[in-house]
Amino acid sequence: MENKPLAFKAIYVLLILFLIASPALAKELIIAFSYDIPPYVMNNGKDGLEPEIIREALKHKGYIVKVKQSSYKRLAIAVSEMGMDAAATVRKTDDGTYYSDNFISFENYAITKKRSGIILNSILDLKGKSIVTWQNACRELGPIFASLFSPDVNKDLSYQKDYHETPVQKDQVRQFWSDRSEVIVIDKAIFIWFTKHMGKETPVVDKIVYHEIFPIPTEFQVNFKSRQIRDDFNKGLKHIRETGSYQQILDKYLK
């Protein structure tokens, strides 16, 4: 009986030590994200749709996310060649890494100004137009788009000189509004975000035309170095979709 207080004290001390140490027990993952493209990645990767969705999904399994930002083009090799634990917003390829379920989608359009009078009924109608889009778009918008604009196509395609991919999507939108490109190929939410933050007063709908010539939506995944962590992410992603947390994050940034 006399040893009971000591036993309780020992249990109490162990409990306190466990609570102090528990954050350190969580595994930190270095995950590559693109440079800021609001509303998807914001504030140096601290905020935005992508970081919040990934954090919530991995938190469910006890992981902590450390952000490493990169150009969009380098995301494709962030895990396989740069040693990152994972990379966000990539498309599945046979590179020896482990790809998640689809975690986010982009609604890509070819956008023109109404005053240009340009008519685009298909991807083939882009030929001969001056175009600005994001880095690696030629590899992510399907085989027809790639056949026209990929640098890997072994053809004399002189019109490609008017096709430009930019690593910073703010510059892409600025180039379109400054009339240096006739067509911008971009996700609708990104386009609207940057347009509004460039001080455009006139409603966008009064000035532009959205041409639905691409498969909508374009789905993206996260790739991982570890199969187990990929599986944990998929389980966490399923959990936040079922509980409504995923939709709450979408509503926070897109409504």
- In DSSP terms, 30 is beta-bridged to 66
Domain with CATH 3.40.190.10 in the chain: 4-105+219-254, 108-211
Which one is the CATH code of 108-211: 1.10.8.50, 1.10.10.10, 3.30.420.40, 3.40.190.10?
A: 3.40.190.10
State the pTM of this model: 0.73
Look up the CATH number of domain 4-105+219-254.
3.40.190.10
CA 52 vs CA 103, 169, 239: distances in Å: 11, 20, 14
Q: What is the pLDDT along the chain (255 residues), one digit of tens a residue?
A: 455 555 555 555 555 554 444 444 569 999 999 999 899 999 999 999 999 999 999 998 899 999 999 988 899 999 999 999 999 999 999 999 999 999 999 999 999 999 999 999 999 999 999 999 998 898 889 899 999 998 877 566 677 889 999 988 889 999 999 999 999 999 998 998 888 888 765 456 678 999 999 987 889 999 999 999 999 999 999 999 999 999 999 999 887
